[in-house]
Amino acid sequence: MKEHRTDDIPERSSTESGGVLLRRIAARDRGAMEELYDLYSGLLFSIAMRILNDSGEAEEVLQDVFLQVWEKPDRYHEGAGSATSWLACVTRNRAIDRFRSRAHRQRVAETLQTAQAPTEALSNADLLPDPDAGVAIRNALSELPAEQSQAIQMTFFGGLTQQQVAEALGEPLGTVKARIRRGMLKLRDSLQPYL
């Protein structure tokens, strides 16, 4: 991909306007696409960089924007504003979506890490009526199917709501609730001597 200069500002005196180029792109003119890219890539890249602060992700946003322009050039309507404003808005929205997605992925990873970490409640024998109960609980959790154990640990030891667990795992809420219920029933049976 071409090196981006963040000081590139579209100069309409030396080339066609963005609106004209977008009309040519709608007619499937590849040359117009190249001209549009040359004219706007620096500006759009700088917008994405300001939001994402990551050149790789900014490049991906830029690619997404120009792909959208090629596939759906009719989304631009000249009466609604300039091509520069429209392209800047599309880029800004794509960059914000990517930023939010990145933040969501980080939260999910942190949540899963927290839920899988050993908990103080299970290792602190003073909190349990029977010193062997912590070992029994760990053993009982390890005997559950992985998805049930994970959902229970995220809820009871990770402090998440069932809705948050569903979002973190990308599963329907009903599925998560069923896993927790089935797992808790199995734990109740396994831990009967300690209850």
How is residue 3 annotated by DSSP? P
Higher pLDDT, 130 or 11: 130
pTM of the predicted model over 0.75? no
Is residue 171 pLDDT above 50, yes or no?
yes
More confident residue, 17 or 13: 17
Check whether 96 has a pLDDT greater than 80: yes
pLDDT at 7: 46
What is the CATH T-level fold of the domain 117-194, as seen in this structure? Arc Repressor Mutant, subunit A (1.10.10)
47 and 94 in contact (C-beta within 8 Å)?
A: no
The torsion angle over the Cα atoms of residues 117, 119, 124 and 129, rounded to 10 degrees, is -140
pLDDT band at 119 (very low <50, low <70, confident <90, very high): very low
Whose tokens are 């009526």? That residue is 129
Per-residue pLDDT band for 161 (boundaries 50, 70, 90) equals: confident
* CA 191 – CA 187 distance, rounded (Å): 6
Beta carbons of 7 and 37 less than 8 angstroms apart? no
What is the pLDDT at residue 121?
44
Q: How many CA atoms lie within 13 A of 142 on its CB side?
A: 8
- Please report which confidence band the pLDDT of residue 123 belongs to, taking 50, 70 and 90 as the band edges: very low
Q: What mean pLDDT value characterizes the chain?
A: 78
Question: Which residues, other chains included, contact 23 with Cβ-Cβ below 8 Å and sequence gap of 6+?
Answer: 73
Q: Contact at 8 Å (CB) between 111 and 160?
A: yes
Residues of the chain with pLDDT > 70, as a percent, come to 72
Q: Domains of the chain: which residue ranges?
A: 18-107, 117-194
Q: Residue 79 pLDDT more than 60?
A: yes
CATH of domain 18-107: 1.10.1740.10
**Residue 21 pLDDT more than 50?**
yes
Examine the pLDDT at 77 and tell me if it is beyond 90. no
Res. 49: pLDDT tops 50:
yes
Band of residue 76 on the pLDDT scale cut at 50, 70, 90: confident
User: Does the pLDDT value for residue 158 go beyond 90?
Assistant: no
